[in-house]
Amino acid sequence: MKHLLSTENLGAADAIRILDTAEEMAAVGDREVKKLPALRGRTVVNLFFEDSTRTRISFEAAAKRLSADVINFAAKGSSVSKGESLKDTAQTLAAMGADAVVIRHWASGAPHRLASTDWIDAAVINAGDGTHEHPTQALLDAFTMRRHWSRLHSSSSTGADLTGMRVAIAGDVLHSRVARSNVWLLRTLGAEVTLVAPPTLLPIGVEHWPCKVSYNLDETLEAGVDAMMMLRVQGERMNASFFPSTREYSRRWGFDDARLRALDDLGLKDTIIMHPGPMNRGLEISSAAADSPRSTVLAQVRNGVSVRMAALYLLLSGDSREAAPMPGTARSDKESN
């Protein structure tokens, strides 16, 4: 791998290698000295065109635990209307000797532009681009699911995939980079995915995705779910006729207290509740659900650092940068069917 741009073209072997490496990195986080010398002398730039304190500090912690030098570059605002173009920013970072660029951008495809142009030669990690993808979020979600799934089956998570796991993802799929990255990665890892959303918040063409689609959260739960992932509802959707009101949204598609109880009633004692954060408590998830023992919200945050350490390590260390094809540049025929 040279870049980590999407999960759409991330093969199973690469995905499992990242997850396995993340397990090793997690062990570092449990030590008294939470630091490895692996990336000493390497420079990682966090290039953020959009506010995201959580993702940025997660990448920052990951890079620092690997002893990399970290530069945080907050480039808010549009690149053409004010300030510098993405091209100029990239060339500036290249001139400063960046080895990896972790980019968060409001425009879908911006990380692909960095990776596919000659503006910069560094490894590019997509830390969320527009409504396209957020591959490290999907990897940390998969990591969290895999630990849970392995524990249930009393097996080692190393080398394992998610075959047979039933995952439901509920919320604003249309605008969610987290949902997209999860659908592709979970498909690759063998999980069975169901998207649950109001029809207005599903993209045209979702019927071609490798998952089931439901408009009914209760029926999805009744069919059996091992991991229930709730997506954040963005404020700007609320006044754009995607749904009539936040209360109606919450009743039909939120994970409320009644649905939390329903998991017990349905005998789904091992079902976990996931959320990429930040949560809208009382909208897509109730406080009782968010704080229940089923919730993996904080484990996801913790695992995020391990997964991002693994990604940085695999992209920047040794000869792996030239070894494998770049994910996200070529696309095989059947991948989205």
Which residues in this chain contact other proteins in the complex, by CB under 8 A?
A: 8, 78-80, 85-87, 105-110, 112-113, 116-117, 129-133, 177, 180, 203-206, 208-209, 331, 336
Tokens of residue 51, six digits: 């506010």
Q: Please, are residues 24 and 268 in contact by the beta-carbon 8 Å criterion?
A: no
Nearer to other proteins, 108 or 150 (CB): 108
Nearer to other proteins, 219 or 335 (CB): 335
- Residue 300 CB, shortest distance to other proteins, in Å, is 22
- Residue 83 CB, shortest distance to other proteins, in Å, is 12
Distance between CA atoms of residues 294 and 266, nearest Å: 15
Nearest to residue 142, comparing CAs of 265, 226, 57?
Answer: 226
Tokens of residue 216, six digits: 């009914």
- Residue 315 CB, shortest distance to other proteins, in Å, is 20
In DSSP notation, 152-204 reads HTTS--TT---TT-EEEEES--TT-HHHHHHHHHHHHTT-EEEEE--GGGS-T
Distance between CA atoms of residues 83 and 85, nearest Å: 7
- Residue 62 CB, shortest distance to other proteins, in Å, is 25
Nearer to other proteins, 110 or 268 (CB): 110
- Residue 325 CB, shortest distance to other proteins, in Å, is 15
According to DSSP, the β-strands at 272-274 and 227-230 are parallel
Nearer to other proteins, 60 or 133 (CB): 133
Nearer to other proteins, 120 or 260 (CB): 120
